[in-house]
Structure 1
């Protein structure tokens, strides 16, 4: 417990079972302590961070997942549906004002009220939610000369979205690019692209808001190529042992790790989630932008009818239920993952009798 306290004080979090080596061992010890009332009672006086009484999440059911509006199960979230342009009537009126006036000189830096901000409020709210949930990442920038309509940035502590890019001429007749920038405080303004880039450069905390993660191919939820943004992986493994009797050759473990799954499987003989039996890796799906725990929970919930629950005894004599084994083939898991990629898994269910995925 003293080592767990020291880890919490050094890293600001509890040890993770997804880690390897000593951190993983500490995580298993903490879980064993939590599940043993006698240990909780004995160790509470030295539990300086309340780790022993932290709530243990219950397994997610398919009903939970479908009710959660998780984009893994539905396309209702509409990550790409945020408006990228302001009302066309407003654009037309402003264009008419430009034509009726002499050429605007210099920079239009004065911010004015956005006349159609109601259209944008939901878009900004969605951006903030995507950032908070990890669907969008913040990328550091020392200026951005390459911007496109619909790009969003954080500058001076506010979200700014490029609503439009206009081809104009400056005061000496040179062609320039002028941006229409809408800000999440309800204002807008029209800087030249160079001036907007300078504003990003001047703000050391400026960030570009990336496009939503979770796309197909190599830039998405399941990456087909190595990516520096990899957040972990889902893996499938077969046991090489004899337990459970009668099922050992047919069950498949669907697990997660933020490290190397091959290393995780290599320690199977000492790992209760592997039934303390040797195993071999049969599939690996790298994740980009999503937490492995969330995707694993989604797959476990989807295949709950095929689950083979196993009870193991930990090092303290406490029985624990292992919920990661299923009567499945790797090909069925591949199929489920394709449905996740297509945002269609919520329209399907797994029929354990027929041993196939069917439409609802």
Structure 2
């Protein structure tokens, strides 16, 4: 059998072997293109070019500096022209300011030790020092000697989150950190208990020393910018908003919103000795979207109503209200006066009714008034003085 080479076989078929294509780009050009593709992806995800500014995500700031340098170099603009589908390489809009920090300072923000000759247009891989730094900051936490002072604050914040009086937002929308604010870092609630005098860091940025208390009973004495870096790096890092009555009422209806609602106040007709002795002070609060009368029609058969008939002593009409959120707030405010009573249901089983409180009717009037004006989240009932007090 005659041996025929591949080339001869292709020639018999009338086909010429295809020569391997040689790469027309240098390694430097490939790196520039890869770096520009990061910027393009940012543009497609956010609908705009990356922008400068201390309050923005550090990677957005890096892309903005990189884009400035690409715009400034003719060879880069020529190389990237076919990839620039969004006009990113055009001159920046009038009034747009550039990042004042140099490459080394910006890399330092990422926790990266810059090497000589670093060019952001050729950045390919950096050592993730930010992760190491975050771990070191956690390791520097020490037990908080006066944690009992702060413990009620954490309990109240958790209640506010449960009742939607507070919300959590991704850190970065507002990167400022102030005394008295709460964050979520590393799965713990962090409270900025104190902030020292403003100092100027070696890179020219302003900073301050913080005392941060964590919900696990530890604390740390770290710089404000260190806390910012840690919150940026933590995918679950969040800012906890201030209390607001906004989620209770609004102009736009939500899934759970009702066209109207009624806060009702009930008084029990039970002959239980503990109830009879304090009948004028024992009240049940609730919220309904229907008729109160229908709600209490079978009260004598329901342990929720102390297995006795009730009388309606007050009602308050409200509009565009989220019933579940409002009930959470009402019960949180009056929780110090919750009735501690156990009764037996129809089958002889012990039951501890909820939503009954030892509170005067005039205080309930004030609670509702503060619900309406949006200030209720800043108050709590004090049984010792029988009045609402500022938290």
Same-fold status (TM-score > 0.5): no
Please state which band the TM-score falls in when normalised by the shorter chain. 0.3 to 0.5
Q: TM-score, normalised by structure 2?
A: 0.35
Q: TM-score, normalised by structure 1?
A: 0.38
State which structure, 1 or 2, has the greater radius of gyration over its C-alpha atoms.
2
